[in-house]
């Protein structure tokens, strides 16, 4: 961002997720349409990419970025803890999840450790069919009965059922992973980024990755990094050439081997080596139903402010035990006022 | 041409010679002060002016497109409930840290001003956290305070006492941040008070003893009044510093839970770098500048009494 502000942008930039459209709207990026027209078929873009990973990098009919890394979170569970509680398979629905969480809680161990970062709450919203924002009405959808039910489900699991840890407020999101690695939690929701810490932290831990839970829908949230070429790039052709090499299937497969990363290409997810990997393959299977939660809201340019309000509202429910039915409409009213303002 | 130039120079010198001694002294003073004036102008006054200018724009003044909006950003700030909440949190944080640093720092200084065994080592140990980066402090205290794996709750549990979610309860999160910041900064207050205590002439205490004053009376009527300038200094410096503090909230709690530790600087930081609302963030910064100026003025009026010995 500092480089863009100083008008000294690089030829090729990687963004942390969600910046492409915002930068594109401000006229800071070069449209990639001519490159895509020229090389798209040869490199498989956009057809070989998960559809939402293409949409989050477009503005209208203009391509401004290409997803290089695509990830998502899903249920990760301690096989031995579940077996000891009488479950030979991971839960697939919210009700099963609640039962397993309660059955595996006891002593200093908990059934589930939720993550306090805002993105993680979205698993519950998405599985209950909730979307963040409706562009037609210019309003957020989080005061719906489904949204209220989703966050109340999590709050009740913590405070009423006592089957989940109270999230630990903090600047990092490693708390649940650390408890899971220490064999003190039966289930967490996380992504491939926690594979290495779990394996190195407790090599003897018997754990596995499950498909995402289903309530009204089977869903989870997506994340990842895209590459973009700034408008003022001095060598855009060379930047595109490098971009093509970085998103090539061979490169993606090598990066998966090296760093355990999941990728946006459909052919990556279908690759036999990927599918044979019990951990990465399982995460890969969640990518087709993963969703970019705030793609539509980002286009308003107000999502960062609304996200902060949402984080605060969710913490009122999950930390302070305020009823979701009271907090979420209040949040929606504040968010809608921001959206309605100039 | 060269001859004419030399002639002009001589004339200037002669004119200078006719300048009064007072004016010449003033010129020399300004000449000597000029590096500092240039430094403060370039690095303080100019950015403050620039920030005020940015605060009168919406959008991204300084880094991108913007539009003149008069005092709209200020009006928005006054109507923003989250700004009011963060001001209250910040004032509570600054007052808590400053008051506790003064009280504990003075207490430690009085204790360690005596020739007790190992006093130099104890002073060094207490001062040590002050020189550590807050990143390290944050990581360390997060580990200690973790409700499930932290050592503090383990100790409480061993003692049969109830464990606490120190940072996850809205009622305890801010006091915990205050305690961490005091732990880090109290060594500085202690050191300043130690220096002040050692500069108080012993004659006062001898006279007070002869008059039959107890140690408590000596502290109340001799030590405390003579430490007023030191207390003023610590109060002003600490208040200014804590009102601008970002690190504890940013590194330990991210302003949570439910905005209970949302310090003003964190609000400004997020407005600027998450929302990219540079104009609004500039207005908030300028309001904080005015608030600090006002508080410092009040502190000076309340505490700045003449002390001589």
Give per-residue pLDDT as tens, B104-116: 999 999 999 988 8
**Of A108, A166, A302, which is closest to B168 when you measure between CB atoms?**
A166
Same structural domain, A312 and A170: yes
Same structural domain, B102 and B144: yes
CA distance A208 to A229: 39
Same structural domain, B167 and B283: yes
Write out pLDDT tens, residues B156-174. 999 999 888 899 889 999 9
CA distance A289 to A190: 16
Same structural domain, A173 and A84: yes
Give the confidence band of B139 by pLDDT, cuts at 50, 70, 90: very high
Q: How many domains does one find in chain A?
A: 2
Same structural domain, B248 and B129: yes
The per-residue pLDDT for B18 is 62
Give the confidence band of B260 by pLDDT, cuts at 50, 70, 90: very high
A179 touches chain B (CB under 8 A): yes
ipTM value for the complex? 0.80
Whether residue B148 and residue A169 make contact (CB cut-off 8 A), yes or no, is no
The per-residue pLDDT for A188 is 97
Same structural domain, A80 and A60: no
Tell me the shortest Cα–Cα distance from B31 to chain A, in angstroms.
35
Same structural domain, B114 and B257: yes
- Residues of chain B with pLDDT > 90, as a percent, come to 62
End-to-end CA gap in chain A: 24
Other CB atoms within 10 A of residue A108 CB: 10
Tell me the shortest Cα–Cα distance from B39 to chain A, in angstroms.
23
Spell out the residues 6+ positions from residue A36 whose beta carbon is closer than 8 angstroms to its own: A45, A46, A63
CA distance B98 to B239: 6
User: Searching chain A, which residue's CA lies closest to the CA of residue B259?
Assistant: A312
Instruction: Read off the pLDDT of each residue in B118-128 and give the average, rounded to a whole number.
Output: 92
**With a cut of 70, which residues of chain A have pLDDT below it?**
171-172
Specify if B62 maps to a domain: no
Question: What is the extent of the structural domain holding B48?
Answer: 2-55
Give the confidence band of B249 by pLDDT, cuts at 50, 70, 90: very high
CB B166 within 8 A of CB B147: yes
Specify if B63 maps to a domain: no
Whether residue A26 and residue B65 make contact (CB cut-off 8 A), yes or no, is yes
- The residues on B that touch A, with CB distances below 8 Å, are 62-65, 82, 138, 142, 146-149, 165, 167-170, 173, 250-254, 256-259, 270, 273-277
Same structural domain, A87 and A19: no
**Of A168, A170, A316, which is closest to B258 when you measure between CB atoms?**
A316
The per-residue pLDDT for A296 is 87
Specify if B200 maps to a domain: yes
A320 touches chain B (CB under 8 A): yes
- Looking up residue A163, the CATH number of its domain turns out to be 3.40.190.10
Nearest alpha-carbon partner for B180 in B264, B266, B242:
B242
Same structural domain, A82 and A182: yes
Give the confidence band of B306 by pLDDT, cuts at 50, 70, 90: low
Spell out the residues 6+ positions from residue B307 whose beta carbon is closer than 8 angstroms to its own: B225, B226, B228, B229
Whether residue B258 and residue A167 make contact (CB cut-off 8 A), yes or no, is no
Same structural domain, B100 and B242: yes
Question: What is the extent of the structural domain holding A279?
Answer: 2-71+222-295
The per-residue pLDDT for B302 is 76
Write out pLDDT tens, residues B174-221. 999 999 999 999 999 999 999 999 999 989 999 999 999 898 999 999
Whether residue B277 and residue A305 make contact (CB cut-off 8 A), yes or no, is yes
Token look-up 């249920």 returns A75
Indicate the residue among B38, B55, B72 that finishes a domain: B55
Q: Three-state DSSP class for B66?
A: strand
Whether residue B275 and residue A26 make contact (CB cut-off 8 A), yes or no, is no
Q: Classify residue A13 by its DSSP letter.
A: E
- Looking up residue B169, the CATH number of its domain turns out to be 1.10.3720.10
Same structural domain, A105 and A178: yes
What distance separates the 2 farthest-apart alpha carbons in chain B?
96
The per-residue pLDDT for A218 is 96
Q: Three-state DSSP class for B71?
A: coil
Same structural domain, A179 and A317: yes
Q: Classify residue A235 by its DSSP letter.
A: -
H helix intervals, A202-302 = 236-246, 249-259, 266-270, 272-276, 280-286, 295-298
Instruction: Read off the pLDDT of each residue in B42-53 and give the average, rounded to a whole number.
Output: 91
Same structural domain, A186 and A85: yes
Same structural domain, B41 and B152: no
CA distance A231 to A10: 10
Same structural domain, B46 and B158: no
Q: How many domains does one find in chain B?
A: 2
Specify if A205 maps to a domain: no
User: Searching chain A, which residue's CA lies closest to the CA of residue B63?
Assistant: A5
Whether residue B258 and residue A165 make contact (CB cut-off 8 A), yes or no, is no
The per-residue pLDDT for B114 is 86
* β-sheet bridge partners, residue A70: A224
CA angle B245–B251–B254, rounded 5-degree value? 90
Give the CA distances from residue B121 to residues B103, B104, B118, B126, in Å, rounded to whole numbers and listed in that order.
21, 18, 5, 9
The per-residue pLDDT for B3 is 46
What average pLDDT does chain B have?
88
């Amino acid at each position: 961002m500092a480089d863009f502000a100083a008008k000294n942008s690089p030829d090729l930039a990687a963004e942390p997720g969600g910046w492409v459209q915002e930068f594109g709207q401000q006229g800071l990026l070069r449209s990639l349409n001519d490159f895509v027209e020229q090389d798209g078929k040869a490199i498989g873009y956009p057809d070989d990419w998960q559809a939402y990973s293409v949409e989050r990098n477009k503005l209208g009919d203009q391509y401004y970025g290409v997803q290089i890394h695509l990830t998502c979170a899903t249920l990760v569970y301690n096989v031995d803890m579940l077996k000891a509680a009488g479950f030979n398979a991971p839960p697939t629905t919210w009700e099963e999840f609640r039962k397993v969480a309660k059955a595996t809680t006891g002593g200093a161990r908990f059934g589930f450790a939720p993550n306090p970062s805002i993105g993680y709450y979205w698993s519950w919203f998405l599985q209950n069919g909730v979307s963040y924002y409706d562009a037609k009405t210019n309003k957020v959808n989080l005061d719906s009965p489904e949204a209220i039910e989703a966050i109340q489900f999590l709050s009740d699991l913590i405070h009423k059922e006592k089957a989940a840890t109270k999230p630990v407020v903090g600047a990092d999101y490693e708390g649940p992973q650390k408890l899971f690695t220490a064999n003190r939690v039966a289930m967490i929701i996380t992504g491939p980024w926690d594979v290495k810490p779990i394996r190195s932290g407790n090599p003897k831990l018997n754990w596995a990755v499950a498909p995402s839970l289903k309530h009204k829908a089977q869903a989870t949230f997506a994340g990842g990094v895209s590459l973009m070429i700034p408008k003022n790039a001095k060598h855009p052709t060379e930047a595109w050439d490098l971009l093509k090499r970085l998103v090539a299937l061979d490169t993606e497969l090598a990066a998966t081997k090296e760093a355990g990363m999941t990728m946006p290409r459909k052919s990556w997810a279908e690759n036999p080596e990927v599918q044979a990997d019990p951990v990465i393959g399982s995460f890969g299977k969640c990518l087709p139903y993963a969703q970019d939660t705030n793609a539509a809201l980002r286009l308003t340019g107000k999502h960062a402010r609304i996200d902060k309000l949402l984080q605060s509202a969710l913490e009122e429910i999950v930390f302070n035990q305020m009823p979701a039915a009271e907090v979420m409409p209040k949040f929606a009213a504040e968010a809608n006022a921001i959206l309605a303002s100039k | 041409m060269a001859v004419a130039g030399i002639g002009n120079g001589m004339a200037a010198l002669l004119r200078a010679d006719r300048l009064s001694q007072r004016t010449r002294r003033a010129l020399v003073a300004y000449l000597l002060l000029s590096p500092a004036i240039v430094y403060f102008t370039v690095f303080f006054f100019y950015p403050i002016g620039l920030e005020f200018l940015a605060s009168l724009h919406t959008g991204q003044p300084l880094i991108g497109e913007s539009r003149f909006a008069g005092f709209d950003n200020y009006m928005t700030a006054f109507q923003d409930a989250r700004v009011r909440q963060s001001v209250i949190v910040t004032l509570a944080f600054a007052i808590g840290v400053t008051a506790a640093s003064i009280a504990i720092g003075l207490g430690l200084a009085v204790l360690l001003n005596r020739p007790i065994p190992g006093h130099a080592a104890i002073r060094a140990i207490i001062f040590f956290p002050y020189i550590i980066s807050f990143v390290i402090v944050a990581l360390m205290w997060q580990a200690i305070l973790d409700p499930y794996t932290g050592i503090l709750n383990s100790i409480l549990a061993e003692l049969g006492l109830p464990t606490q979610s120190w940072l996850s309860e809205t009622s305890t999160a801010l006091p915990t941040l205050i305690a961490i910041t005091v732990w880090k900064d109290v060594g500085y207050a202690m050191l300043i008070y130690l220096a002040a205590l050692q500069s108080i002439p012993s004659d006062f205490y001898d006279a007070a003893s002869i008059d039959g004053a107890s140690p408590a009376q000596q502290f109340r009527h001799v030590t405390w009044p003579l430490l007023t300038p030191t207390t003023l200094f610590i109060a002003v410096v600490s208040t200014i510093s804590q009102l601008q503090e970002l690190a504890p909230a940013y590194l330990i709690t991210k302003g949570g839970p439910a905005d209970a530790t949302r310090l003003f600087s964190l609000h400004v930081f997020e407005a600027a770098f998450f929302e990219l609302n540079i104009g609004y963030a500039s207005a908030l910064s300028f309001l904080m500048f005015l608030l600090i100026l006002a508080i410092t003025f009040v502190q000076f009026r309340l505490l700045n009494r003449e002390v001589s010995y």
